[in-house]
Structure 1
């Protein structure tokens, strides 16, 4: 990261000033032709990451895993999955990133393990201290302990024949939930965290941590919720205690960053989790904007999906921007490995380049640490799936199968539109490096089909075109690195009720910048009453000739521009 002038009145941290790039290893770059992305493949692209200008790589799980949920079912936290390489390969990656002043953040997945983990194998046999490492309930094999549902479809309980009891799994049946009430579980988690921190990593993205504490007594849930029981699994009674223990006993001893995935977290509750005055987290991934386009009953409601408004989006984002002011720090994202492609969701496939640049402008100028997902920088779009046999994601498959089993739909055809809008698989198609077969991702047969768009949408073409989405991301990253106002400046929303324009200012000391985003496919003007633009200077725009002042003329479809006032 570049040297900055320091602001003594501001709590400055390197992770606030960073731009984070998320890598899904299985789909990033394959070095050995087996069709699966791997660690040496990422090493081959470290120079690419450096050229983009990112500061931190968040690496999705590369631990040993049977792959029931693409690595989020961990069999051994201290070993590397064979398909991805060796521990020596991982150490090479760490060294190559650090040599370029790029930090590495690992995924910490400790709500659950794989059912093939040594802890679970011993727990099902009731061996010693491991007997209560997971959440077990006695009962008849045809009657689960409660009505809770799994995010992967079906019941959240599976009867284990070895132990003769039910175990809880909020996700796949091969992902049994750990029993965080057990101090020995927490001690082992802290030990493995310290093990990785001592190897030199720079922090953790903490997976599904809002589920660590379950409601006392495991009561039945509202049958109308999806999944059933979520009101008893989100933000349980001891969650802050558990997170604070991780901070006090481990994280506080290292200069690292943490970002926690926490669905269904209102901003006031988020503030309780953040900072030394709270549970010690640096940032959380909230999901409020991720739920705007869901149906009334959630992400997999076949009625009402895909509908959202810019006014609602502005209200949500602004609530977090202002609600955490002085109380915590935002993590800003529009997509990741669990979400569809941001252009297809929040932009426009018709105006792909224009809307992708607008989304980049938003991510890199709004308050908080921005998170980019692989392929965002070239404007990758959603794929098209024609049947369940073309999908890999157990959540998507389970949701569709549940809808068919419950009689809400008769076949995949009735869910096709929803799947092609919201499936996690869209983010998992291989990275599109060039126009050669399989997009340059692999010399073999890819583990998952490459998106048909790769001949036109790929890194090689983007690098050659100085007006490309990639170069716009690079320009914005440089702008953010060089101007503290985009990091530490206060955010103020303009025109909250405008249905086409998202505009806001960022202000620090005596500097103010204005961001104007025409978030629509029609031209529109920026209100002259919103701000004094008599001395405005355009810093960057998504078209080659942005308006020299925001009120000079109409903004074209998906046009965005940033001004210094």
Structure 2
């Protein structure tokens, strides 16, 4: 393996939604000691790092993405000592630890916002504007979670901007003191031994200082589920080109500490994907929404995304098919039948772990877990409550990890904060550990192949012209070459028989790939 590249380039990062990972004390909620207890399992997968969902204190109106204290640990998850113990143990096993930092906004219970609300010295740390003369919102910006992206504060006779819930006021990164305070959060945790960060909505740190309206999206929201905010192109409340310089400044804070990594969540606009990270500007890497919002199997969404990234040839991407906000891959790309979920899960894992970039694997993806089907009464997610039944929220991908047989499938001895999914009963870690044909076994084989290959981790990617539904590309580095082929359909298709098969899933015959089959061969 090459040693001259930074550790994160081509690495695989395992994304842990802490509240649903493993409960160590029976209170029904996953916690940091629970992650520590499962560290051997994580290491056995063959990943390089873990990314923890937000661990800071929060009133949990958006489950940790509304931070009330950046320098503490959420009591539900444990203590600062528990976090340090996890970091130390992970480092001893050769795993890096990344935190999820939410710096575009805070909770309305954060001390900074309470001071701003009272007109104190931090009064300009958030984005404020007067209402129009008729009492309506300052502009047409819409919140992702519904309604105008402004909330009126009678005490100040002004409205404050919130891109999500009204309890998540937008931090004003144009204020030098607010920006310095946000950057100091990163510096603090780097000093505690954290190896880097995923930055939530990093495309939305800056807003248009003239508060100009967002333009209309010509597709009228057709590219995503039908939130009203999707009827706009978010060019003025987020995605500003000048955001790159700000992200570059953020990266320099991280670079002051050797061997660290910062990546971010970027634009939902395809033409801007890849524009916020490079070797010389912006963050180290980032991921964008096209791969996450795709819902139809086929080569096109991969080909188009990499064509979009090609506009920024120096960009190093993060590649992700699902996360804590996105329906699980096995269900999203399946044909709707339970019989398709395992073949689709394996196919998409083979594709994910063959692509060029830093790979983000969401907990349970290695098990091929399908989306949980919850009732409205079971939901804890404000998105599901707002948009039911058109959009059932994000809890279907946030249910507890199934570890084994018995009570709550081994997740907790108490009442889980979200119900354990009946769909996951046959997919527990214990059951898959005993099955050499399991999705878990295939995941480990894929990760071992990636870990052992400079071409798969670091190499160039060149797509071959292939008729749909076949997706084919080569990965190469030095003298090493791989051919990666994927049948993105439920029908058999013609494929090349070149090279020596190293890994495969599904039915593979001479010159053909069966339904949802994949073949990785060394040339």
Q: TM-score, normalised by structure 1?
A: 0.86
| Secondary structure of 2:360 counterpart | strand
Q: Does 1:396 align with 2:384?
A: yes
Given that 2:248 and 2:281 are in contact with CA atoms closer than 8 Å, whether structure 1 keeps it comes out as yes
For residues 87 and 322 of structure 1, do their structure 2 counterparts lie closer, same or farther at Cα, with a shift above 3 Å needed?
same
Q: Is the 8 A contact 2:254 2:262 kept in 1?
A: no
Q: Cα 1:50–1:352, aligned 2, differ >3 Å: closer, same or farther?
A: same
Task: Give the equivalent residue in structure 1 for 2:307.
Answer: 319
Match of 2:370 in 1: 381
Pairwise CA distance, 1:43: 0.8
Alignment partners' CA distance in 2, 1:389 and 1:149: 27
CA RMSD in angstroms, aligned pairs only: 2.0
Answer yes or no: is the 8 Å Cα contact 1:322–1:491 preserved in 2. Answer: no
Q: Flag structure 1 segments of 5+ consecutive residues without an equivalent.
A: 294-307, 401-411
Matching residue of 1:220 = 213
Per the alignment, residue 243 of structure 2 pairs with 239
Deviations for 1:436-494, whole angstroms, at most 9, x for unmatched residues? 12111111111111111132111110111111111111111111111101012221112
Kindly indicate whether the alpha-carbon contact (under 8 Å) linking 2:32 and 2:83 is maintained by their aligned counterparts in 1: yes
Question: How far is the alpha carbon of 1:245 from its aligned partner?
Answer: 1.9
| Separation in 2, partners of 1:463, 1:65 | 36
Given candidates 323, 326, 330, the residue that maps to 1:336 is 323
Counterpart for residue 304 of structure 1: none
The match for 2:224 is none
5 Å matches for 1:362-377?
Answer: 362-377=351-366
How far apart are residue 137 of structure 1 and its match?
1.8
CA change 1:322–1:237 in 2 (3 A) is closer
CA–CA distance in structure 2, aligned partners of residues 249 and 19 of structure 1: 23
DSSP 3-state at the match of 1:170 = coil
Moved over 6 A (4+): none
Secondary structure (helix, strand or coil) at the match of 2:353 reads: helix
- What residue is the counterpart of 1:403 in the other structure? none
Asked whether the equivalents of residues 289 and 316 of structure 1 are also in contact (C-alpha less than 8 Å), the reply is no
Counterpart residue number, 2:433: 463
1:127 maps onto 2:125 in alignment? no
The C-alpha deviation readout for 1:203-239, integer Å capped at 9, x for no partner, is: 1101001111112321233465641652321222531
Question: 2:225 — aligned with what?
Answer: none
Distance in 1 (CA, whole Å) between partners of 2:33 and 2:50 is 15
- Please name the residue that 1:181 is paired with: 174
Query: Any idea what the Cα deviations from partners look like across 1:485-532, whole Å, max 9, x if unmatched?
Result: 101222111234x2221111112222221111112111222157xxxx
Q: Which residue of 2 aligns with 1:542?
A: 505
Correspondence for 2:447: 477
1:435 maps onto 2:390 in alignment = no
The 3-state SS of whatever aligns with 1:358 is helix
TM-score, normalised to structure 2's length?
0.92
* Structure 2, unaligned runs of 5 or more: 222-227
Matches within 5 A, 1:296-315: 308=296, 310-315=298-303
Work out whether residues 523 and 556 of structure 1, in 8 Å CA contact, stay in contact via their aligned partners in 2.
Answer: yes
Q: 1:222 to 1:392 in 2, by over 3 A?
A: farther
Tell me the SS of whatever aligns to 1:371: strand
Tell me, what secondary structure is at the counterpart of 1:260?
Answer: strand
Retained in 1: the 8 A contact 2:22–2:34?
yes
Q: Is the 8 A contact 2:290 2:301 kept in 1?
A: no
What CA distance in whole angstroms lies between the structure 1 residues aligned with 2:414 and 2:274?
47
Asked whether 1:445 is paired with 2:415, we answer: yes
1:21-170 correspondence to structure 2 within 5 Å: 21-128=14-121, 130-139=122-131, 142-170=135-163
